[in-house]
Structure 1
Amino acid sequence: MFGGGGGLNPRKMKQMMKQMGIDVTEIDAEEVVIRTADHDLVFENAEVTKMDARGQETYQIVGEPEERDRGELPAGTDEDEADDDEIPQDDVDIVVARTGAREDEARAALKANDGDLAAAVSQLE
């Protein structure tokens, strides 16, 4: 289609894509995760490009993925840290305000009650 001895020069390619209404943007991504039913594909420091062709966005990821089982924590993350992220700080603050409990007690009560504010308050009163 484009014929020639070694391909197009990148500048010429960008001009042609712009003429066809295709906008290309580099994304400074730290990590890209693709979740499947069985595992996650995790790309760290991947090159990510977004192409917008008349409203249709397409993403291209270039890099080597690490395959992780679903639910496996990234290296360097401890389980307590991951659990703390599950309970919103606002919910902890509400339970502390209503019961006068310490923050760690409120968080534990929310975890024990699957994030149910009323049940956590009842448990601590």
Structure 2
Amino acid sequence: MLPMNPKQLRKLMKQINMEELEGVSEVIIRMGDREIIIKNPTVTVIKAMGEKSYQILGGVEEVRELLKIPEEDIRLVMEQAGVDYETAKRALEETKGDIAEAIIRLTEGQ
């Protein structure tokens, strides 16, 4: 295959309904219990038969495990600490779901 200059490559990509997205700083793929974060990826959109496909190129920067906090835990912390929903949820997230620790943090100094 002969080398192409960037202008020729862009023209060819346009002819086959393919374009590169500019300015993408990160892509986050969320799954049930974790997130995969790709920083500074190259993202290409391919349009075919009325559908769009996204091709993402780049190295995985980070994999985050997501903490699922049951609603009943949030309600219990709300009731015991006398705080609103968001405050209770944030305290549980900060304590990695530890109900007792969340209540203690929220009630210290009251």
If the length of structure 2 is used for normalisation, what is the TM-score?
A: 0.47
| Higher RCO (CA 8 Å, separation ≥ 6 residues) | 2
